[in-house]
Amino acid sequence: MTLLSALVGCSMNSTVLTTREPRLLWYETTAPKPRGVIMLVGGLNNRPEIMAPLAEELQLRGFHAFTVSLTGHAQGEWLEDASAEKWLRDLDAAYDVARTRHPNTPFSTIGFSLGGTLTTAWLLNSPEIRASHSLLIAPAIWFPGHAAFLRLLAYTPFSLPSFMPQKIRVHRLTPLSAYRALFTLSDRIKTATLSEGMRHTPTLVIMAKGDELVSYSATQQWIQSINSPAWRFEPADVDKLDYQHLLLWPRPLTPKWAALTKRIERFLSDS
């Protein structure tokens, strides 16, 4: 894939790399031997900033990290323009840039909510790509019973108000067509047969037991059904939060953030 890219800004520890599609924000380590390059993808109506605290932690720990701004998430774009296929192409483009920029560095993915769904569907869709590790944080694949109502409405032209904090929210309203794209991806994952390569890719799912948007028990059962020692499910060790789904925001302000990031670092370092 041919990509038009330009370096548009830089600081001592990070650079902003723009491509035609998508936009990437890089957090590159100054370590002489980087431990990996990691693609971070956020949620359905999230700014990439939701992944920034984790990207910064990974940068400090010797990894190259970059966040992806998906179609519909950039300023001046609308989520009505998004689709499952466009989001998958966004990750294709991001991966091409990462491999060109760091061709010999192990590549891993971290996805939160929609990001976990999308990175999983993308790896299923790209068997030639072998991730070193895949971390899924509250992946929006299996939903509680009340989500059936959203499925019924997903083909209507309406929108729902977003309850995400304004600082990490892209739009005040989330169109139901965006939920349709999410359900398309989750359904593909549920019906797919994992390749042997993907079954043996170290994969860790972390989520809170009280998650309001994703079914904890169904996600746990799904991991168990894969029946691979490379795939693990672990509950998030969190204090009682107002919103349990938002594990990554504003976690840097809590005492358990250091433990969580150390746990993620340990997983990414496992061979």
SS3 180: helix
Query: For residue range 33-75, what is the model confidence (pLDDT) as tens digits?
Result: 999 999 999 999 988 889 999 999 999 999 999 999 999 987 7
What is the rounded average pLDDT of the residues 95-123? 96
Please determine, for residue 116, whether its predicted confidence score (pLDDT) is greater than 80: yes
Number of C-beta neighbours around residue 34 at 10 A:
18
Helix (H) or strand (E) holding 68: strand 64-69
> What is the residue whose two structure tokens read 């969580």?
260
pLDDT value at 88 more than 60: yes
Lowest mean pLDDT among 83-92, 124-133, 148-157, 225-234: 148-157
Residue 13, pLDDT > 70, answer no
Which residue is associated with the tokens 């969190």? 238
CA–CA distance, 80 with 22 (Å, rounded to integer): 16
Percent with pLDDT over 90 in the chain: 61
Q: Which of the pair, 248 or 109, is modelled with greater confidence?
A: 109
pLDDT of residue 242: 67
The answer to whether residue 20 scores a pLDDT higher than 70 is no
**Residue with the two structure tokens 């068997």:** 127
Task: Please check the confidence at residue 2 and state whether its pLDDT lies above 70.
Answer: no
Is residue 36 a contact partner of residue 132, using CB atoms and an 8 Å limit?
yes
Phi then psi for 223, rounded to 5 degrees? -60, -40
> What digits encode the pLDDT tens for the residues 201-257?
999 999 999 999 999 999 999 999 999 999 999 999 876 666 888 888 766 556 778
- Whole-model pTM? 0.90
* Mean pLDDT, the chain, integer: 87
Least confident of 138-142, 170-174, 235-239, 261-265: 235-239
**Bridge-partner residues for 46, per DSSP?**
169
User: What percent of the chain is predicted at pLDDT more than 70?
Assistant: 88
CATH superfamily name and code, 5-269: Alpha/Beta hydrolase fold, catalytic domain (3.40.50.1820)
Please, which pLDDT band fits residue 3 given cuts at 50, 70 and 90?
very low
Q: How far is the CA of 65 from the CAs of 2, 4, 60, 82, 166, in angstroms?
A: 22, 20, 10, 24, 24
Residue of 137 and 77 predicted with greater confidence: 137
Q: What is the pLDDT of residue 259?
A: 85
| pLDDT value, residue 18 | 39
Q: What is the residue extent of each domain of the chain?
A: 5-269
Residue 133 has pLDDT above 80, yes or no: yes
pLDDT of residue 252: 58
Cα distances (angstroms) measured from residue 238 to each of 52, 112, 209, 257: 19, 16, 10, 9
pLDDT of residue 111: 98
Average pLDDT of the residues in 100-126: 96
* Residue 12: pLDDT over 70: no
What pLDDT sits at residue 36? 96
Cα of first residue to Cα of last residue in the chain, in angstroms, is 30
